[in-house]
Each structure stands twice: as C-alpha cells, then as structure tokens.
Amino acid sequence: MSNSKSDKLFNEAKCVIPGGVNSPVRACGSVGGQPLFIQRGDKAKIWDVDGNAYIDYVLSWGPLILGHRHPAVIKKLEQILESGTSFGAPTELETILAQLVIDRVPSVEKIRMVNSGTEATMSAVRLARGYTKRDVIIKFDGCYHGHADTLLVAAGSGVATLGIPGSPGVPEKVIENTLSLTFNDVDEFIRVMEKIGDQVAGVILEPVAGNMGMVKPVNGFLETLREYTSKYGAVLIFDEVMTGFRVAKDSAQGLFGITPDLSCFGKVIGGGLPVGAYGGQKDIMNCIAPEGSVYQAGTLSGNPLAMAAGIATLQELENDEVYTLLEAKTKQFITGLQHAADANNIPLKTGHVGSMAGFFFTDADVSNFDDAKKCDLKRFAKFYRGMLEKGIYLAPSQFEACFVSIAHTNEDIEKTITEANEIMAGL
C-alpha cells in the first residue's frame, strides 16, 4: 500500500460508498490495483490528485471524443449556465439536439432524451414490447446494455470482471423472457427465430461489441438479424450507446448499411454530461406517452446543460474530416500496439472501427464472448499496470474498448507506442 493521496481518498470513499466507487469497474479490481482519483483533465490528458499526468484512452468510457474541456463545449456550457440549470419544462435545446441526431442517423425519425444509456435501452425494450405486444427479448452474450434487470444477463465487461453470472436481485421471473445467444453466430440466431420468432418483441445488440473488449460483427451477422426480425415482425434495436457518433458520423448503422427499427444513444451525444436517448421510426416512437400509452418519463430528461454539451459536441463532429482524422489517429495507435507486440513475440489481436479500438492478449481470433474470456487476463493486468506507471491510462479490464479523441496528438500516440514497446519487452 502506497501513501498516495489517491489511496487515502479511496480508503475514505470506501467508508461511505460501496467499494469506494459509483460504478464497479472503476475500482480496478481485476487488474489488482487501486483507482486513481482524478483532479482534472485537459485535451487528451488527465492528472491524478498526486500530480501525475496520463494520456487518456478511456475518455470517461467514451463520451469525450473531443478530449477533455474542448473549448466549444465549455463555451456552450458557460453560456447556458447563465440562464439556469433545469426547468422541467421544454427548452429549444432539446429540439436542436434531437434534430442533430435525426439529420445524421437516417433510421431515427423521432427521438426521446433520457439521462443514461441504461435508461435508453430499458425504455427501448419496453417500447418494443409495448409496440409488438410480445414479451421475448433476444440479446447476445457479452453485450452490455446498461444495468436494467431485463438485460442483465451474460452482460459483458463489468459483470464479467467481477466474475458473477448475472446479478443477485434480478428475479428469475424478470429474465425468463430474455434470451441470450452467441454474438456472431448466424446459424444459432436463425434456428431460434424459426422456432420462436413470432413471440419475439425485440432483438437488441451492440452493432460493434465494446463491452467484451472490441469485437466486430462478422460478415452477414447484422444482415441476418435485419432479415429475420423483419420476417417475424420483431423490433431490431441497435444499442449505439458506445458506437453512436464514435465509429462513424452516421454511427455503426451507417457504417454497415443496416437500418434498425430503434437505436439507443448515450456517451458521445452527452459530450461528457449525463445523456441517453432512444429513437427510431415514427410509428414506433409515437407509441410513447404522451402520444401513445407506453410510459416513460424523467425529471431531468433533456436537461439544458446536458443538451448544451451534446449539441456542442455533435456540431464539432459535423465536418467529415474529423472522422477521417480520428480514424487515422486510432489506426496509428492500434497498429503501433500490434507492432510492439510482434517485436516482442507477444501474441496480440488488435482491431479498430473508427476511433473505437481493442486488443486481446491471444493468438486466436476473437468473435464472441467465450473467445474473449480465453485471453491471457494475467498478461493484460501486467501490461495495464506497466502502462499506467508510464503515464498511459487504459481501461482497467481486458473486456473494455479503448477510445481516441481528436485531442490526441501525434506525440501522445508516439509516446504511448514507445512505452508499450518497453512494457511488452518485460511481459
């Protein structure tokens, strides 16, 4: 145990907050460390309370695609702050953010703002059930859709890191209509749909999985989901909370050319403030209260400050060149890691989609959660701790994605690769 300020603050936090954290993975349990308490962030860097600087590839778990304290976001927040923080009555900001999403993501005709990704997926599932008047929801092992009861089955990173199968407190009865299948297994999905397709309300997935590490959809997987949900009248829900405006300007659905019925957003659309959203075709979205009878509400939903951060962020992402730049930076980062591993004879599988990246310590391809779980977790933990000591802040679990922002400089990425080389040499 060190005498750092972070350790002291963690010990104090543990007395008053379960595990000392407000979200489990932050405790860094699986990599055998203690969390750093963060003092501040600027551009691609964060500083802990002991004054150490880190190049940040977590970016608040995805939202900060512009980096920390982007001037456009700060300016907009300051401007809105002048007029108040919350009214619980409509403001124009809500329509502006809704329009920004609708303009970029063609499948979204109407959208409802909520406060987190969890709320978005929970509400989308309720809507799918209300719209179809069916009960069964299909998800995929290793996909995380927030912590709503119905979806907390084989739910990836946080849960996997803790080594618990689902969660106590979720009654069997609540999840008896949730079916979790194998990600990327086209044949299994077809078999299940042919058997019970007419009872399925919705099929929900991360179009690029990011909560079992980063796993891309195999050719034909998304296409098959689209075909069979249409065939059986089930609602196809893309959970783009992580991928939305991250992997491409029109999100994963644009990148892969698949049109889901409903989409969930979060992270980037809040620009670092608490925002989630779900949207889709008008005829489905019009089932939500007060237009329809499927109930969903929120005291702080559409909060002016949260909308402001989202608007400023999406406006900065308007220019296509931003995505080209993000892609180039991410490629530099991830190929650099691959070369570092190759040079040191460390088996490593790497990949990226837009500015979402991932790496697994294994020599086998990873296409689902079982594959991901076979990776060398001890080696990951050692790599993670080594990199942290060198000032590189990666997500503290093999089952998480990494993110690059427009604020990451060539120098930041070069330094990251140089340090990775050194750490790999000692693995």
Ligand X SMILES: *Cc1c(COP(=O)(O)O)cnc(C)c1O
**Residue 269 vs 284, nearer CB to ligand X:** 269
**Residue 178 vs 376, nearer CB to ligand X:** 178
**Residue 306 vs 312, nearer CB to ligand X:** 306
Helices (H), 233-303: 251-256, 282-285
Measuring CA to CA, how many Å separate 68 from each of 26, 54, 60, 72, 267?
18, 12, 9, 11, 14
> How far apart, in whole angstroms, are the C-alpha atoms of residue 211 and residue 284?
28
Measuring CA to CA, how many Å separate 302 from each of 61, 62, 70?
21, 20, 21
* Cα–chain center distance at 167: 20
Euclidean distance between the first and the last CA atom of the chain, given in angstroms as a whole number: 23
Residue 325 tokens read as 């730049």
**Residue 229 vs 243, nearer CB to ligand X:** 243
The position carrying tokens 């092992």 is 141
Backbone angles phi, psi at 156, to 5 degrees: 75, -150
Minimum distance, C-beta of residue 382 to ligand X, in the bound complex (Å): 26
Minimum distance, C-beta of residue 178 to ligand X, in the bound complex (Å): 15
Contacts of 4 (CB under 8 A, 6+ apart): 50
Minimum distance, C-beta of residue 153 to ligand X, in the bound complex (Å): 14
**Residue 241 vs 306, nearer CB to ligand X:** 241
Minimum distance, C-beta of residue 348 to ligand X, in the bound complex (Å): 23
The position carrying tokens 């397709």 is 197
> How far apart, in whole angstroms, are the C-alpha atoms of residue 248 and residue 233?
28
Minimum distance, C-beta of residue 243 to ligand X, in the bound complex (Å): 7
**Residue 37 vs 144, nearer CB to ligand X:** 144
Helices (H), 273-400: 282-285, 304-316, 320-343, 369-373, 377-389
Helices (H) and strands (E) in the chain, counts: 15, 14
Query: 10 Å Cβ neighbour count for 104?
Result: 18
Residues 316, 66 contacting (CB under 8 angstroms): yes
Minimum distance, C-beta of residue 120 to ligand X, in the bound complex (Å): 7
Minimum distance, C-beta of residue 204 to ligand X, in the bound complex (Å): 9
Task: Give which of 262, 223, 321 is closest to 101, Cα–Cα.
Answer: 262
> How far apart, in whole angstroms, are the C-alpha atoms of residue 147 and residue 159?
10
Which residues are marked as active site?
144, 239, 267
Q: Is 286 helix (H, G, I), strand (E, B) or coil?
A: coil
- List strand residue ranges (DSSP E) for 22-168, in order: 38-42, 45-48, 53-56, 110-114, 136-140
Residues 322, 406 contacting (CB under 8 angstroms): yes
**Residue 197 vs 266, nearer CB to ligand X:** 266
- 278: part of which helix (H) or strand (E)? strand 276-280
> How far apart, in whole angstroms, are the C-alpha atoms of residue 397 and residue 154?
17
Minimum distance, C-beta of residue 7 to ligand X, in the bound complex (Å): 26
**Residue 107 vs 118, nearer CB to ligand X:** 118
Residue 230 tokens read as 């249409």
Residue closest to ligand X (Cβ) = 117
Question: Which residues of the shown chain bind ligand X in the complex (CB under 6 A)?
Answer: 116-118, 121, 144-146, 206, 210-211, 239, 241-242, 266, 276
